[in-house]
Chains A and B, each alone.
Chain A
Amino acid sequence: MLSDTGQKLYHWLDERFNLTPLIDYMQHKQVPVHKHSVWYYMGGVALFLFIVQVCSGILLLFYYQPGVDSSHESVRFIMTKVNFGWLVRSVHSWSANLMVFFVFVHMFSTFFTRAYQKPRELTWMTGFILLVLAMTFGFSGYLLPWDELAFFATKVGTDIAGAVPLIGEAMKIVLRGGDDVTGATLSRFYAIHVAMIPALFTVILGLHLLFVQRQGMHEPEAFKKLKPEQKKMIPFFPNFVLRDVLLWLIILNILLFLAVLFPWELGPKADPFVSAPEGIRPEWYFMFMFQFLKMLPAHIGFMEGEVAGILFFTLGGLVWLLTPLWAFKKRGKVDIMLLCGLLVIAFILVMTVIGYVY
């Protein structure tokens, strides 16, 4: 009876939208199985966490009130008065961090398996843009509870943006909505966080997923060399999708565990007129940049140290974005790309550790 109705509904839709080829495509799409298969799931995990972010974010919007007199109060209100508000807020914060983490993992796994090579250049580039957008999400969302640490971290962060030559000062003023971090900044960051970035992110994410579906999974070198009958494959649907769901459930479990047992804290309300408290630090994914800029000498050659550092990260980001265009081929036993990747990871890890230890 139930399946009968389902059949009818499917038929109705199929008649109008010609769904059968799509389903066929999904069923015939094969996903390679090999020892590096686990990395195929990382993007999916990031996607899941993004969905969690959208849902929990929309829920928070029901009570959050941006404004110097209401931001901190409304977040506190959500945490104390609203049913399960503590959970929603904690999930939103934890999920944000996990999402950035998995986006990083996803990125490095595609880098090391050389998945960015032709024909997937644009998939890589849209992916990199998604990473930058995810970090912007984090940066703008960090300020919204208007607590002390976030306030000063935003001050420092926008100050760094202000050090960019020529356009820096204008950029800082546009970001802050004035000379200083004030209620105006809060409004801007709110707009950026709940409207601008989500819109951009959704479009780019759509493209990214479209590319992946169209081109199928990338096969690593070793797998490609195998004869067709030696290649172990599973259908994308239902096998791969069900595994994806399985992993999502595990991640959800971990997320809830973290959110309940380590609830995200809310610091004291920001007061622009007290001196900065100790231990101002950005979110962990900005730490390596923050620490590197801090460690640079005041002057490098004819440039200010900070300016040089910003230039370094801008160029570095650009080079990383364009990886598919310059990537070296593997020659014999020397894999330059592997070294590059390891170097970048080592740099990020060392800087982050220094940032937290000192």
Chain B
Amino acid sequence: MKNQNHASFLCLAAMAVLVLWAAGLRAAEDDPPLSETDQCLSCHLDDDVMPQDYGEHDIHMQKGLSCAGCHGGDPANDDMDDSMSPAAGYVGIPDKKDIPRFCGKCHSDIDFMRQYQPAIQTDQAEQYGHSVHGAKLMRGDTSVAVCTSCHSGHNIMPASDPRSTVYALNVPETCNKCHGDAQYMKKYDIPTDQYEKFKKSVHGQALLEEQDTGAPACNDCHGNHGAMPPGITSISHVCGTCHINNMEYFAGTKMAAGFKKKKLHGCEECHGNHEVPKPSDKMIGDDKSSVCAQCHESGDKGFLTARVLRTRLDTLAAAYRKASVMKERVNSLGMDDLDIEFILQEAKQSLTKARTMIHTFDTLKVSALTTEGLVKNQQAIREARVQIEAYYIRRKGLGASTFIITLLIVALYLKIREIERRQKSTTGEV
């Protein structure tokens, strides 16, 4: 069995190389297209029996691996029975449960794959075996996703291609095909609203609306081939891959240790998972809407800390708003707001840092940052006042020039009268 596998693989590989070589030759000599030289294609296209999901941009097709590349058979033979016989290496349509192995024949073999891309990964099938999908498939559940569920069967494109089903922006849709289908997911007893929630989350907004491929899609937290819900211990590491400071700050707190003991998820308890909203200062504090109040009770130490932290943030945020309004005023008066802008940038940075520092729940550390920010804000407001005053000093200048001109007007008026009196007295003219 194993030998046979090897033999057929070698055969396949040889064929693939041949086809590739042929494709290269064709490109060089402008030979007829693959659809005419490849007998599988030429018949299947003529009889209109191509796979439903076939797309001509399919990467295998692009690299010259035509139908026979995966399904075996002899593409040079135009006799249907002969070319599609086991003797010709024909393997036909694989069962769903066999697909990971089917794809893995090539994709798990670095010796074969490296000719396409030297650093290509070949552990997908291996990882798949450790995913929830893979584990269930092993146990005979064929409802789960296999390679083709996500990558499609005959329209496979690399993840970097925006047309691909696994391109960052398309991943949520792809996962949602199954995970959003309540009927389909019924037997698994997991929610099916992840996509809807994700769409509203700060990550979803960035990814789907702003089309920011730097934002995480499903696979960035769950993994792709080894997809699994992150465990309690790993959740803060999952978030921490990007939110490094927040993770480190939180990991050092007593609360983190307490969470671990109570089997609470780190970041998720406060920020949620799929629907993680854009964080706001309202999340912390002692009012009912704050996340602290979900566990802490009025009077306990954490409650007190939350109140202090919130006050610190609110004070700085209000001061920053006030200073920004002053800056706008300076700007609208047509005065110079450049230096104020630089100072405000620093004030904002202190606020951002303080908001991150919240994750230490250390009032001293947060206060140090907010005080730094308040000082900057004060400085900005002082600068703004100087500018606004300078603006009004202009009016004093106006007063001086008005005085001079008015004086001149009066003097000139008297002079005219004097001249005319003199003229009258000398000429006697009316």
Query: Residues of A at under 8 Å CB distance from B?
Result: 76, 79-81, 86-87, 232, 234-235, 238-239, 242-243, 245-246, 249-250, 252-253, 256-257, 260-261, 263, 265-266
Contacts and interface: CB of A to CB of B under 8 A. Distances in A.
Contacts of B412: 242, 245-246, 249
A245 B405 CA distance: 12
A80 B395 CA distance: 16
Interface string B98-134: 0000000000000000000000000000000000000
B401 interface: yes
B335 A253 contact: no
A239 B413 CA distance: 11
Interface string B240-254: 000000000000000
A250 B336 contact: no
A234 B427 CA distance: 12
B419 A246 contact: no
B398 A246 contact: no
Contact of B416 (A246, A250, A263): A246
A219 B425 CA distance: 27
Interface string B60-74: 000000000000000
Given A86-B334, A261-B398, A263-B334, A253 B405 contact: yes
The 4 closest A-B pairs by CB, nearest first: A260-B398, A79-B334, A80-B336, A253-B405
A252 B405 contact: yes
B420 interface: yes
Q: How large is the interface on B (under 10, 10 to 19, 20 to 34, 35 or more residues)?
A: 20 to 34
A239 B416 contact: yes
Contact of A253 (B402, B413, B423): B402
Given A249-B405, A253-B405, A260-B398, A80 B335 contact: yes
Contacts of B416: 239, 242-243, 246
A84 B419 CA distance: 38
Contacts of A265: 334
A286 B334 CA distance: 27
Interface string B374-413: 0000000000000000000011011001100110110011
12 contacts: A80-B335, A86-B394, A242-B412, A246-B412, A246-B413, A249-B405, A249-B412, A250-B409, A253-B405, A256-B401, A257-B398, A263-B334
A81 B387 CA distance: 12
A260 B395 contact: yes
A contact face: mostly helix, strand, loop, or mixed: helix
Nearest to B416: A242
A239 B420 contact: yes
A78 to B, nearest CB: 10
Contacts of B408: 249
Contacts of B406: 253
B397 to A, nearest CB: 8
B400 to A, nearest CB: 11
A238 B394 contact: no
Nearest to A231: B430
A238 B413 contact: no
Interface string B158-195: 00000000000000000000000000000000000000
B398 A80 contact: no
A257 B334 contact: no
Contacts of B395: 260-261
B415 interface: yes
A253 B395 CA distance: 13
A168 B413 CA distance: 53
A98 to B, nearest CB: 16
